[in-house]
């Protein structure tokens, strides 16, 4: 029996990865009902990461945690045995800003630390943190505070949350940090290699996307430089330290974390090679297949893993910004874009499920029919 593995990422702003896989599966089954279909929705560490693991039958754990501005909220993480997968975006990400209003100087990662602490309290010893979609630029200081660190000014007073306050940090007291940290292994699933500081750092590259103006940028860069001096200047230059507003730095310096390619870490946890056993074709994709996709995004990671197993790979996207030669060079046998069926972007997004069913049917007719 022919077997197809469906391993798409989300179509951002339209469908989650599990819904993308479901729509493709329905289209394929319409034309080739005898084909075995394995749905393996994936993510690269950004939004949708926890959903991908829940789809793989990991247990979802609900927890109360404050958002980036301190507003009460709820979120969840995924657990299997002693491994926990936490997604920053669903705790302190841009989507958690009340009313969508940015707070570039005051937003914090405190809620992320709350979730990490919950996982540690409940027996997790391997914690994977998906970095992406952060609303703050606090160098992971809020996360550290939630885990017991004290960040004090020159008078011995604890600083408030937010990146700007770190300019006044004079002492870091780590003596009361969560005892589970020392016996746990932390992995940062991350697809950026920015350092903490400088022209390619967390502030210069990402803070403007979080509402920071010119004066805010100067304030935050000075604050993070001071924070790095206290927490571990040797970590500030490491690739990935600038991820998620410098949360990468905080995790490297205070949790002993290591940085890995997001999609590689996720595929390893999902035991993706085993899921390819006996397969004949792999289909992956994301909302926009473009030049950025070629730098470690989920479809490329899936493609590399599938090709290593000797399998052909087809890409599906909402829109394809790559030339035909780039698609081939990336390793894809073919690429199908929803924009080819519905050129109007708004309608393509609104009708993504139906369009993906049509794409699935076309793939089945052109690549699976005997």
List the alpha helices (DSSP H) in 93-242. Answer: 110-121, 141-146, 202-206, 214-231
Q: Where are the extended beta strands (E) located within the chain?
A: 3-8, 36-39, 59-64, 74-80, 83-87, 126-130, 150-152, 171-173, 185-190, 258-261, 281-289, 313-320, 334-337
Q: Is the pLDDT of residue 369 over 80?
A: no
Across residues 146-152, what is the average pLDDT?
98
Give the predicted TM-score (pTM) of the model.
0.93
Please report which confidence band the pLDDT of residue 296 belongs to, taking 50, 70 and 90 as the band edges: confident
Q: Nearest-CA neighbor of 269 among 13, 69, 55? A: 55
Q: Is the pLDDT of residue 370 over 90?
A: no
Return the pLDDT at 186.
Answer: 98
Across residues 283-295, what is the average pLDDT?
91
Across residues 208-224, what is the average pLDDT?
97
Same fold, 3-42+278-368 and 49-263: no
Q: Is the pLDDT of residue 227 over 70?
A: yes
Return the pLDDT at 294.
Answer: 84
Across residues 123-127, what is the average pLDDT?
98
Please report which confidence band the pLDDT of residue 138 belongs to, taking 50, 70 and 90 as the band edges: very high
What percentage of residues in the chain have a pLDDT greater than 70? Answer: 99
Q: Tell me the per-residue pLDDT of 307-358, one tens digit each, with 9 for 90 and over.
A: 999 999 999 999 999 999 999 999 999 999 999 999 999 999 999 999 999 9
What is the residue-averaged pLDDT of the chain?
A: 96
CATH number corresponding to 49-263: 3.90.1510.10
Name the residue ranges covered by the structural domains of the chain: 3-42+278-368, 49-263
Rounded to a whole number, what is the distance in angstroms from the first to the last CA of the chain?
Answer: 12
Contact assessment for residue 284 and residue 299, using Cβ atoms and an 8 Å cutoff: yes
What percentage of residues in the chain have a pLDDT greater than 90? Answer: 94
Question: Which CATH number fits the domain 3-42+278-368, given the four candidates 3.40.50.10350, 3.40.50.1820, 2.40.50.140, 2.40.30.20?
Answer: 3.40.50.10350
Q: Tell me the per-residue pLDDT of 73-106, one tens digit each, with 9 for 90 and over.
A: 999 999 999 999 999 999 999 999 999 999 999 9
Across residues 240-267, what is the average pLDDT?
96
Report the alpha-carbon distance of residue 130 to residue 328 in Å, rounded: 29
Assigned token pair, 365: 């007719």
Report the alpha-carbon distance of residue 221 to residue 194 in Å, rounded: 14
Q: Look up residue 35 and give its DSSP letter.
A: S
Q: What angle do CA 287, 263, 301 make, to 5 degrees?
A: 75
Report the alpha-carbon distance of residue 86 to residue 269 in Å, rounded: 13
Return the pLDDT at 293.
Answer: 87
Across residues 54-58, what is the average pLDDT?
95
């Amino acid at each position: 029996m022919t077997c197809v593995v469906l391993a798409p990422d989300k179509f951002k702003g339209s469908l989650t990865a599990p819904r993308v896989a479901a729509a493709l599966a329905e289209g394929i089954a319409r034309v080739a009902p005898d084909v075995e279909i394995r749905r393996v929705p994936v993510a690269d560490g950004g939004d949708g990461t926890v959903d991908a693991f829940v789809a793989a039958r990991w247990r979802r754990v609900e927890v109360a945690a404050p958002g980036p501005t301190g507003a009460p909220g709820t979120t969840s993480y995924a657990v299997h045995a002693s491994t926990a997968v936490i997604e920053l975006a669903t705790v302190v990400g841009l989507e958690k800003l009340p009313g969508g209003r940015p707070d570039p100087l005051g937003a914090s990662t405190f809620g992320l630390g709350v979730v990490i602490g919950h996982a540690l309290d409940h027996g997790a010893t391997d914690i994977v943190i998906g970095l992406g979609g952060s609303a703050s630029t606090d160098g992971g200081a809020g996360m550290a505070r939630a885990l017991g660190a004290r960040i004090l000014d020159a008078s011995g007073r604890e600083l408030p949350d937010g990146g700007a306050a770190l300019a006044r940090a004079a002492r870091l007291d780590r003596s009361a940090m969560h005892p589970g940290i020392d016996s746990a292994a932390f992995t940062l699933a991350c697809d950026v290699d920015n350092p903490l500081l400088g022209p390619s750092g967390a502030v210069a590259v990402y803070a403007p996307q979080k509402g920071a103006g010119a004066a805010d940028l100067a304030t935050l860069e000075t604050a993070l430089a001071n924070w790095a001096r206290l927490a571990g200047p040797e970590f500030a230059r490491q690739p990935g330290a600038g991820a998620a507003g410098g949360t990468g730095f905080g995790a490297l310096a205070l949790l002993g974390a290591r940085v890995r390619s997001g999609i590689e870490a996720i595929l390893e946890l999902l035991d993706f090679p085993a899921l390819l056993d006996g397969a004949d074709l792999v289909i992956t994709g994301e909302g926009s297949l473009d030049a950025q996709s070629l730098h470690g995004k989920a479809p490329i990671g899936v493609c590399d893993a599938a090709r290593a197993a000797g399998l052909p790979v087809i890409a599906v996207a909402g829109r394809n910004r790559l030339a035909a030669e780039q698609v081939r060079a990336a390793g894809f046998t073919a690429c199908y874009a929803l924009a080819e069926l519905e050129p109007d972007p708004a309608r393509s997004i609104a009708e993504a499920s139906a369009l993906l069913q049509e794409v699935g049917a076309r793939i089945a007719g052109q690549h699976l029919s005997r």
